[in-house]
Structure 1
Amino acid sequence: MKILIARYWNSFSFIGLVFAVLFFAASLTPSLLPRHFAVQGVLSGFALAIGYMVGLLLLWGWLFLELPQPKAKLETLSKRLTVIVVLLVSLLFTWQATQWQNSIRVRMEMEPVPSAEPIYCVGIAVLVALVIIVLTRGLIRLGAVISRQLNRFLPRRISAAISTVLVVALTLFIANGVVARALLDAADGFFSHADELIDEGIEQPTAAIASGGPDSLIDWETIGRRGKDFIAAGPTQKSISAQTGRVAIDPIRVYVGMRSEETVEARAKLALEELKRVRGFERSTLIIATPTGTGWLDPGAVDTVEYLHGGDTAIVTTQYSYLPSWITILIDPSRSMRSAQALFDEVYGYWKTLPKTERPRLYVQGLSLGSLGSEATPDLLTTFEDPIQGAVWSGPPFPSRQWAAIVRNRNPGSPEWLPTFRDQAMVRFTGQENALDDDKRWGPIRNVYIQHASDPMVWFSPNLAWHPPAWLKEPRGPDVSPSLRWYPIITFLQVAFDLPMATSVPIGYGHNYSPSSYIDAWIAVTQPEGWNDERIKELKTFFKSDETQ
Structure 2
Amino acid sequence: MPKHHGRARGAGNQNPRRLLTTLGTSTLGTWTRQARRHAQRLNIPLPAALGGIAGYALAHTTSLLPRTPLFQGVVAAVNASVGYELGMMAADVAALRRAPKATPGVNPAPTTASPIVPNPLTGVPTPRPGNGSLRSGLAAAALGATLIGVPLAALRSQRRTAEFCQVPGPRVRWAPASAAASVAILGFFTLCWRITEMLLDWLSHHLGQRLAWRLAARALATLVVLAGTAVLFDQVILRGIRLAGRTVADRLDHSTPAGFTQPDRAVRSGSPSSGETWDSLGLQGKRFVSGGPDAARIARVLGSPAQDPVRVYAALDGRGLAGIARAVLDEMDRTNAWQRQVISIVTTTGRGNANEWSASALEYLLAGDCCTIATQYSGLPSAITLFTSREQPVAATRVLFEAVQGRLAAMPANERPQLFLAGESLGAYGSNGIFTDVDDMVAHIDGALWLGTPNFTPMHRELTRSRDAGSSAVAPVVDRGRHIRFAGRSAQLSADEAGRPLDAWQSPRIAYLQNETDPVVWWGTRLLYRRPEWLAEHRPATTPMGRMHWFPFVTFWQVCADMPVCRNVPEGFGHKYHASQITPAWAGVLGRDPRADYSAIEQALIEDVTIPPIKVFGI
TM-score (norm 1): 0.90
Could you tell me which amino acid in structure 2 is paired with residue 195 of structure 1? D
CA distance in 1, matches of 2:288, 2:66: 30
Q: What letter is aligned with 1:461?
A: G
Structure 1 window deviating more from structure 2 (413-422 vs 432-441): it is 432-441
Report the CA distance shift for 1:116/1:308 in structure 2 as closer, same or farther (over 3 A).
Answer: farther
Cα deviation 1:356-396 (Å, max 9, x = unaligned): 10010111111100000001325569968963211111100
Root-mean-square deviation (CA, aligned residues, Å) is 3.2
State whether residues 424 and 442 of structure 1, in contact with CA within 8 Å, keep that contact through their aligned partners in structure 2.
yes
Distance 1:398 1:332 in 2: 17
Contact 2:355 2:423 (C-alpha < 8 Å) held by counterparts: no
Task: Please give the per-residue CA displacement for 1:508-543, whole angstroms capped at 9, x wherever unaligned.
Answer: 001001112111111111126xx8966423323433
- Say which one has the larger Rg: 2
C-alpha displacement at 1:472, in angstroms? 2.0
**Structure 1 stretch displaced more, 121-130 or 482-491:** 482-491
Partner of 1:524: 588
CA contact (8 A) 2:493 2:588 kept: yes
Aligned to 1:347: 404
Equivalent residue, structure 1, for 2:23: none
Corresponding position of 1:484? 548
Displacement of 1:100 in angstroms is 1.7
Q: Which residue of structure 1 aligns with residue 341 of structure 2?
A: 284
CA contact (8 A) 1:37 1:116 kept: no
Q: Deviations over 1:445-504 (max 9, x none)?
A: 211111011111111011111222221234327652543222221111111111121111
The residue number in structure 2 matching 1:504 is 568
- State the SS of the aligned residue for 2:547: coil
What SS does the corresponding residue of 1:357 show, helix, strand or coil?
helix
Is it true that 1:362 corresponds to 2:426 in the alignment?
no
Q: Does structure 2 retain, via aligned residues, the 8 Å contact 1:434–1:520?
A: no
Asked if residue 514 in structure 1 is aligned to residue 578 in structure 2, the reply is yes
Query: Does 2:187 align with 1:130?
Result: yes
Partner of 1:194: 252
User: Mean Cα displacement is larger for which, 386-395 or 499-508?
Assistant: 386-395
Gap change, CA 1:87 and 1:465, over 3 Å in 2 = farther
Residue identity over aligned pairs, in percent, reads 27
Task: Measure the CA separation in 2 of the matches of 1:401 and 1:11.
Answer: 49
1:21 corresponds to 2:83: no
Query: In structure 1, what is the equivalent of residue 198 of structure 2?
Result: 141
Would the aligned equivalents of 2:482 and 2:505 in 1 still touch at CA under 8 Å? Answer: yes
Partner letter of residue 326 of structure 1?
A
Compared with structure 1, are the counterparts of its residues 295 and 263 closer, same or farther at alpha carbon in structure 2 (3 Å cutoff)? same
Q: Tell me which residue corresponds to 2:121.
A: none
Count of residues in correspondence between the two structures: 543
Which of residues 403, 426, 448 is equivalent to 2:511?
448
SS for the counterpart of 2:349 is: coil
Match for residue 296 of structure 1? 353
Cα 1:172/1:354, change in 2 over 3 Å? same
After superposition, give the CA deviation of every residue in 1:283-311 in whole Å (9 maximum; x if it has no partner): 00111110111311111111001000000
* 1:536 has 2:598 as partner: yes
Matching residue within 60, 65, 71 for 2:92: 60
- d(CA) in 2 for partners of 1:279 and 1:378? 28
1:205 matches 2:237: no
How far residue 6 of structure 1 moved from its aligned partner, in angstroms, is 9.4
Distance of 1:146 and 1:384 partners within structure 2: 56
Q: Is the 8 A contact 1:210 1:252 kept in 2?
A: yes
Mapped partners of 2:188, 2:447: distance in 1: 51
> SS in structure 2 opposite 1:336?
helix
Q: 1:321, CA displacement in angstroms?
A: 2.2
Following the alignment from structure 2 to structure 1, what is the Cα–Cα distance between the partners of residues 71 and 338?
48
* Residues 276 and 71 of structure 1: CA distance in aligned 2, closer, same or farther (over 3 Å): closer
1:325 maps to: 382
Q: For 1:330, what is the secondary structure of its paired residue?
A: helix
Normalising by structure 2, we get a TM-score of 0.80
Q: Distance in 2 between matches of 1:83 and 1:411?
A: 54
Change (3 A) 1:186 1:15: farther
**2: CA distance between counterparts of 1:302 and 1:78?**
65
2:493 is equivalent to residue 430 of structure 1: no
Q: CA distance change for structure 1 residues 421 and 67 in 2, over 3 Å: closer, same or farther?
A: farther
Secondary structure at 1:98 match in 2:
helix
Question: For residue 49 of structure 1, what is the aligned residue in structure 2?
Answer: 81
* 1:221-300 equivalences in 2 (<5 Å): 221-259=279-317, 261-300=318-357
In the other structure, the counterpart of 2:525 is 462
Checking the alignment, whether the CA contact within 8 Å between 1:410 and 1:419 is kept in structure 2 is yes
